[in-house]
Amino acid sequence: MKKIIFVIAFLFSLIFADEEANSAILIVKVAGLRNAKGVVRVALYNSADTFASPTTYKSLSVSASEECSVTFKSIPYGNYAIALLHDENKNGKMDYKLITIPSEGFGFSNNPKVGLSAPGFNSAKFSVDSSEKTITVTVKYM
């Protein structure tokens, strides 16, 4: 009986060790916040099909501050994109002025130019292929 338990424990340790060996810590630094009101909501996407939609791979929120960052743990190696919102009034959504102009800050990985809509996944895509990756996203206000 002890041998069976040992073998099962050993197999689980191999599975989880392999998972950890191919995963990373992703640190997202937020630059350019205009104030420390509200929260910063950071969404991590792993698919072009869901990018900049409510269907995220993972998401985190942190209180807005001068030196703001979030850390995603156990991220499998691969391609990802970030979209973030400076939710100053903490209502969980982007607020607009004049119907289509955002009144709160937003940003995307790679800091692509933004027109009348969100950039595509490929414009914001970056690779996670080592044990730790740090990116900086600059918040834009209109």
CA-CA distance, 85 to 94, in Å (whole number)?
7
pTM reported for the whole predicted model: 0.83
pLDDT at 20: 58
Q: Is the dihedral of CA 38, 59, 81, 131 positive or negative?
A: positive
- Is there a contact between 82 and 109 (Cβ–Cβ < 8 Å)? yes
**For residue 122, is it within any domain?**
yes
Confidence band for 43, pLDDT divided at 50, 70 and 90:
very high
Mean confidence (pLDDT) of the chain? 89
- Is there a contact between 53 and 29 (Cβ–Cβ < 8 Å)? no
**For residue 17, is it within any domain?**
no
Q: What is the mean pLDDT of residues 53-64?
A: 97
**For residue 15, is it within any domain?**
no
pLDDT at 57: 98
Residue-wise pLDDT for 75-102, tens only, equals 999 999 999 999 999 999 999 998 889 9
**For residue 82, is it within any domain?**
yes
**For residue 4, is it within any domain?**
no
Residue 108 structural domain = 24-138
Backbone angles phi, psi at 24, to 5 degrees: -135, 170
**For residue 10, is it within any domain?**
no
% the chain with pLDDT above 90: 76
**For residue 3, is it within any domain?**
no
**For residue 63, is it within any domain?**
yes
Structural domain total, the chain = 1
Q: C-alpha dihedral over 121, 57, 46, 142, to 10 degrees?
A: 20
CATH number at residue 73: 2.60.40
